[in-house]
Amino acid sequence: MNIKGWYKNLIFSNSSFFYLSSPLKIILDILLALHHCEQERIQEIRRETQKNRAMAEVIKPHVVCIPFPLQGHINPMLKIAKLLHHKGFHVTFVNTEFNHKGILDARGPNALDGLPDFCFETLPIEHPPSNSHISATLNLLVLRQACGKSLLSPLRDLIARLNDTAANPPVTCMVSDAMLTYTQVLTEELEMPNVFVWHMAATGVVSFAHFRDQMKQLVTLLKGVFYIFFTLKKLLFHFILINLIHSSINGLNSWCKKNPIYI
């Protein structure tokens, strides 16, 4: 029984009025006042919570995740997209039409239906011609050139379509594969942040970080090797030339001794 009900029962029990001493009435009045204050505070918290939830739905950040179209790049980017979705982002994950079809063929027609706030989109980027999904993904250079030529225009159209759709919030940021550096051109046009993700292992990152120094050291080493090689080659040439001259002189002396010339 709450305080208010207990107070009423105490005063009007069996339709008869019981006199309450002044101190007890004051205490009960205070308890009732505290009870009302607590109820008001709870209602205020509930209203504020509902308001915050409504505002969160309205200003929910929308991230577009674009992996390089190879399996070793798609899987890590998908994990990042799941983490962002868990943190409250609306996620649009972008595949090429070729990879999208490959996933549907492997996992069923409903494998990429997604959620209301986790959607999959496709870009019409041509993959290298192939008879299988595996061999097509091996031609890295051709695929990278294809992305460089035909990625920005359809991606720009996709973002414009997402921004015009009332079912999702406008695009606020982008997460791109580090091999798709040209997406920076589009994000600068749209004035939104773009985070590049490098999926290679830590050893690969360290190797690329020190690549220039390694090349300089290799060039210096090769210069030293070639210098030694050409020096030895020059010395060998001179040695052979001197031997040839010496042999020629000796041969000429022998011939002269056998065939004296009289003048």
User: Tens of pLDDT along 50-89?
Assistant: 766 655 555 789 999 999 988 888 999 999 999 999 999 9
pLDDT of amino acid 249? 64
Identify whether residues 158 and 69 lie together within a single domain: yes
pLDDT of amino acid 84? 94
pLDDT of amino acid 126? 77
pLDDT (tens digit per residue) in 144-153 = 888 888 888 9
Task: Provide the mean pLDDT of the chain.
Answer: 76
CA 37 distance to own-chain centroid: 50
pLDDT of amino acid 62? 94
- With a cut of 50, say whether residue 17 has pLDDT above it: no
- With a cut of 50, say whether residue 23 has pLDDT above it: yes
Identify whether residues 43 and 67 lie together within a single domain: no
Identify whether residues 50 and 74 lie together within a single domain: no
Query: How many other C-beta atoms lie within 10 A of the C-beta of residue 155?
Result: 22
Please identify, among 16, 41, 57, the residue that sits at the C-terminal boundary of a domain.
57
pTM of the model: 0.57
- With a cut of 80, say whether residue 44 has pLDDT above it: yes
Residue 159 covered by a domain = yes
How many domains is the chain partitioned into structurally?
A: 3
Residue 257 covered by a domain = no
Cα-based distances in Å from 80 to 77, 89, 117, 141: 5, 11, 15, 25
CATH for 164:
3.40.50.2000
Q: Among residues of the chain, what percentage have pLDDT more than 70? A: 67
| CB neighbour class for 89 (10 Å; exposed up to 12, middle 13-18, buried from 19) | buried
Residue 262 covered by a domain = no
Identify whether residues 38 and 120 lie together within a single domain: no
| Confidence at 15, pLDDT banded by 50, 70, 90 | very low
The residues that are catalytic are: 73, 177
Please identify, among 199, 221, 253, the residue that sits at the C-terminal boundary of a domain.
199
The region of weakest confidence among 69-73, 92-96, 213-217, 248-252 is: 248-252
Exposure string for 109-119, b = 16+ CB within 10 A, e = fewer? eeebeeeebbb
Residue 29 covered by a domain = yes
pLDDT of amino acid 95? 92
One DSSP character per residue, 98-137 reads: HHHHHHHHHH-TTTT--BTTEEEEEE-PPPPP-SSHHHHT
Identify whether residues 223 and 118 lie together within a single domain: no
pLDDT (tens digit per residue) in 107-117 = 888 877 778 88
Identify whether residues 69 and 162 lie together within a single domain: yes
pLDDT (tens digit per residue) in 164-209 = 887 888 999 999 998 898 899 999 999 999 999 988 777 777 777 7
Residue 244 covered by a domain = no
Residue 125 covered by a domain = yes
Range of the domain at 96: 60-199
Identify whether residues 95 and 27 lie together within a single domain: no
Residue 181 covered by a domain = yes
Q: Among residues of the chain, what percentage have pLDDT more than 90? A: 23
